[in-house]
Amino acid sequence: MENSIERHSEQLSNVAAKLDAAEQSALTDPLTRLGNRRAFELAQSSSELLAATPSLALIDLDHFKDVNDALGHVVGDAALRMFAAELVGLLPKNALAFRTGGEEFVVLYPALDRRQAAAEIARFAKHLEAHNPLQMYPSPPLAFSAGVAGPAGDTGSIADLYAIADGRLYEAKRSGRGCVITGTDLEKDAAPEGLNQARTAIAGTLEAETVLAARLAEGQRRISPLVRRLARSAPNQRTDLIAQILAAIGEHCGADRAYIFRFESPHVMTNTH
């Protein structure tokens, strides 16, 4: 009988351990191992946090979709994991970090007022310049914008502070990204030079891509009618039409000549220019 009770007690302990593990897993973001949105919501009712209103920073990575599009989701996921690790590595005592969305993070600072929390975020931004998750790739460094809310200026529950920080984050994004906005006057803290350079590089890349797309669309508009005529033409008309197409391509590209290659058999290739 005693052995049966011990065995049953051990089984109950195993079940309890599994339940604890499952509960922990339900509160953890599987990619970064930070707390997830549910964990953040539970933290809002924590007696330790409610004892003194914490400051809150809402962080959003800038142009992260471009990272995924240019380098792939595997690199993007690795960048998120490294970003989270660097963020946690610099957290002051008792601060908590959560990943609440794709590239959105929340940090709670129980012992800091708004200004002190903003200083911590600025310190992290500076640290990220030297420990950037994308430094081994041909890409602008990972940058972020943030909105900060907290005591000594802001009042309300953690949910209220989140809403205030969210409004400031929106203003940071609208102001050009790569900055931290901390107060109701929407003052813009100076971003580290590296983040400003990253913002400029990304903006330049996007502008260049927009110009290139417009040029390609214009080129297609000019060439398409000639290509359609070429497809319907008789053999004795093709040389002249090819010459017209090449001339149009050269004019559009600002070149003095253009080449078009024709495969006339599996083994022979000729070109006209």
Active site residues: 103
d(Cα 182, Cα 71) in Å, to the nearest integer? 32
Are 270 and 264 a contacting pair, CB within 8 Å?
Answer: yes
The first and second tokens of residue 193, run together, are 């030079």
Burial pattern 149-179, b for ≥16 Cβ within 10 A else e, equals bbbebbeeebeebbebbbbbbeebbeeebbb
Are 111 and 93 a contacting pair, CB within 8 Å?
Answer: yes
Q: Which of 197, 161, 205 is nearest to 176 (CA)?
A: 197
Direct distance between the N- and C-terminal alpha carbons of the chain, in angstroms, rounded to an integer: 96
The first and second tokens of residue 14, run together, are 């195993």
Geometric angle at alpha carbon 112, from 198 and 116, rounded to 5°:
40
The helix or strand, by DSSP H or E, that contains position 225, with its residue range, turns out to be: helix 193-232
Geometric angle at alpha carbon 139, from 72 and 134, rounded to 5°:
75
Q: At what angle do helices 64-71 and 193-232 cross, to 10 degrees?
A: 50
What type of residue sits at position 69?
D
**Helix locations, 135-182, DSSP H:** 158-174
